[in-house]
Amino acid sequence: MALDITTLNVGGIRAAMRKGMAGWLRAASPDVLCLQEVRAPAEILEPFLPDRVAHQSVSRLKGRSGVAVASLLPVARVREDLTGLEPLDTHSGRWIETDLVLPDGSELTVVSVYVHSGEAGTERQLHKLAFLHAMTKRLAELGQAERPAVICGDFNVAHREADLKNWKGNTDRSGFLPEERAILTDWFTDLGWVDVGRVLAGQREGPYTWWSWRGKAFDNDTGWRIDYQIATPDLAAKALSFRIDKPESYDSRWTDHAPFTVTYDLPGFSPA
């Protein structure tokens, strides 16, 4: 049986729903939906997801960030925020963990994360690196847990040259800096996490999940692959396929990201 998990940066749930996300959600209907940049409190988010159990981490700054996991499966436990961060980075609406209960009684940890965009040579970049290092500590812990786990979200880092179209022009920009990419490499080597999207797509350019609103980036497919699902090896081995729902045209976009869905083969699971 197959479990569909989708990660998606909506750029504001209210605007996304108004512009077309509602139709996509009805058609795609993933079993688990990880959202980033929700930018809305629970009383606004939950009516958009009436058939799902939704848990979110809301930023202390109104109208900023916000991550959520909306599931058709029961939720056993919820944990917010990362430890070891400076006060400015806590309660920032960038990390939420949920332990979901599968039909056979086993559990699966699903995380939704929104990493800072950063800016090279500024304090914003220091916050981004601190957050990525805090993620490293938490990934080490989750990797040692008994439950399989998947981290879904907007990492705001392209790991390899194949992950962005114009990599030569971005080597000094946040999102493709050597120190950021090295952290992700550590996750996939030292910690053993698996970049599920890259494994399923193979060694080719893209497939991209984000395109700038400016110029002809979308029309020319000059994008970045910054939306990830990274999984513990036991779960990654069960990944069957992936799908990126890129809109047909610039005018039909309702976010600058595209939904990224992975289908996992989990014994005992029967899709709703």
Structural domains for the chain: 2-261 (3.60.10.10)
Question: Taking all residues of the chain, what is their mean pLDDT, rounded to a whole number?
Answer: 93
Please tell me the predicted confidence (pLDDT) of residue 63.
73
- Given this model, what pLDDT does residue 272 score? 41
Do 153 and 112 touch, CB atoms closer than 8 A?
Answer: yes
Q: How far apart are CA 173 and CA 27, in angstroms?
A: 37
Contact of 93 with 66, CB cutoff 8 Å:
yes
Global pTM reads: 0.95
Distance CA 110, CA 231 (A): 9
- The per-residue pLDDT for 260 is 98
pLDDT at 88: 52
Interatomic CA distance for residues 10 and 123, integer angstroms: 26
| 154: annotated active-site residue | yes
Measure CA 51 to chain center.
21
Residues (pLDDT < 70) of the chain are 1, 84-90, 267-272
Would you state the pLDDT for residue 59? 80
In this prediction, residue 84 carries a pLDDT of: 66
Give the per-residue pLDDT at 133: 95
Which entry of 89, 154, 163, 195 is annotated as an active-site residue?
154
Residue 170 DSSP label: G
pLDDT score of 201 = 97
Integer Cα distance of 130 and 143 in angstroms:
20
What pLDDT is stored for residue 92 in this prediction?
A: 81
CA angle 234, 237, 242 (to 5 degrees): 125
